[in-house]
Amino acid sequence: MTERIVRVLDSFGDDRTVQTSTDIARRTGLPSSTAHRIVGDLVAAGLLERDEQGRVRLGMRLWELALRGSRALRLRQAALPHMERVQAQIREHTQLAVLEHEEALFLERLSHPEAGANITRIAGRLPLNASSSGLVLLAHADPEIRERILHGHLEAVSPETVTDAETLRALLASIRRRGHVIAPGSIEAVSTGVAVPVRDHGQVIAALSVVLPRAAATTPAVNALTSAAGAIEQDLRSAP
C-alpha cells in the first residue's frame, strides 16, 4: 500500500503539478480503480487538494508535514539572513542546495528584479556535474557516491558542462583545494555559477551559490559567499 501511495505522490513533477486521477493511473501503471481510491483517500487526508475541475495537486498539508522538524528547514532558517545579505550585495540570484539522491536539490532561491537568467527552482534539481552547487556537493560527497557518479553517465546540460570523468575529477580536487567553484556556462552559455560549501560541525551539508551574468566579475561573489557560509556555520553551531 505504502509503495502505491508513494507512486501516486511521485507522479507529480515540476512540469506536471495538476493531474486527473485518470492521468495518475496511466502514469503510475496502477489499475484505474486503485488510483481513484488512493487519490480519494489522499484528498480526504489533505495530502492532495482537488480543484473545481476535479483535478488534484499536492496539498499544503504535505508541505507542512514535510517541513516540520526537517533538517532542510533548520538549514534554510540558519541560511536565509545570510543569503539575503549576499543577494543585497551581489544583486543576482542566490541559492541554497543539498545533495539528494545523487542530484543537487534546491531548498531556497532569492532573486532580484534585474537579475539575469536562472533555471533553478525551489524544490527543483540539477545534475551534480553541471551546476556550480552540484560541483561543490560532489567535491565533498562521500567518496563512494563520488566514484559512482564519476563512473556513471555524466549528463550534458549545456555544451560547456564537464562530461569527461578525468576532467571532472581534477575540477573536484581543485574545488576542495580552493574552497569554491566558478562554473562559466555549465548550465547556460549566458551565465556563470559561483558556489561554496556550507559545513555543519565540519561536514559539508549544503552549497551556497549565486548565478551571475557571464561577463560579471566573480571575486565579489566568491567573497560574499565565503563570508556568508562562515556565518551560517556559526549559526548552525548554536542552533539546536
Q: Which residues bind ligand PHB (CB under 6 A)?
A: 117-120, 131-133, 183, 186-188, 191, 193, 209, 211
Q: Which is nearer to ligand PHB, 137 or 232 (CB)?
A: 137
Residue 31: CA atoms inside 13 Å, Cβ hemisphere, count?
A: 3
> At closest approach, how far in Å is the CB of 216 from ligand PHB?
12
> In the 8-state DSSP scheme, what is residue 155?
-
Q: Which is nearer to ligand PHB, 11 or 186 (CB)?
A: 186
Q: Which is nearer to ligand PHB, 6 or 117 (CB)?
A: 117
**Three-class DSSP category at 114:** coil
C-alpha cell recorded at residue 228? 556568508
**Three-class DSSP category at 19:** strand
Q: Which is nearer to ligand PHB, 38 or 109 (CB)?
A: 109
C-alpha cell recorded at residue 233? 556555520
Helices 143-151 and 165-178 sit at what angle, rounded to 10 degrees? Answer: 150
Query: Please, what sign has the CA dihedral across residues 66, 60, 211, 171?
Result: positive
Q: Which is nearer to ligand PHB, 208 or 232 (CB)?
A: 208
**Three-class DSSP category at 97:** strand
Which CA distances in Å does 107 have to 36, 80, 117? 31, 11, 19
Helix spans in the chain (H) = 2-10, 21-28, 32-44, 60-67, 71-90, 132-139, 143-151, 165-178, 219-238
> At closest approach, how far in Å is the CB of 163 from ligand PHB?
15
Q: Which is nearer to ligand PHB, 8 or 134 (CB)?
A: 134
> At closest approach, how far in Å is the CB of 119 from ligand PHB?
4
State the residue number with the nearest CB to ligand PHB. 193
> At closest approach, how far in Å is the CB of 105 from ligand PHB?
13
> At closest approach, how far in Å is the CB of 193 from ligand PHB?
2
Q: Which is nearer to ligand PHB, 23 or 188 (CB)?
A: 188
> At closest approach, how far in Å is the CB of 182 from ligand PHB?
9
* Length of the chain measured in residues: 240
**Three-class DSSP category at 104:** strand
> At closest approach, how far in Å is the CB of 213 from ligand PHB?
10
CA angle, residues 58, 60, 61, in degrees to nearest 5: 100
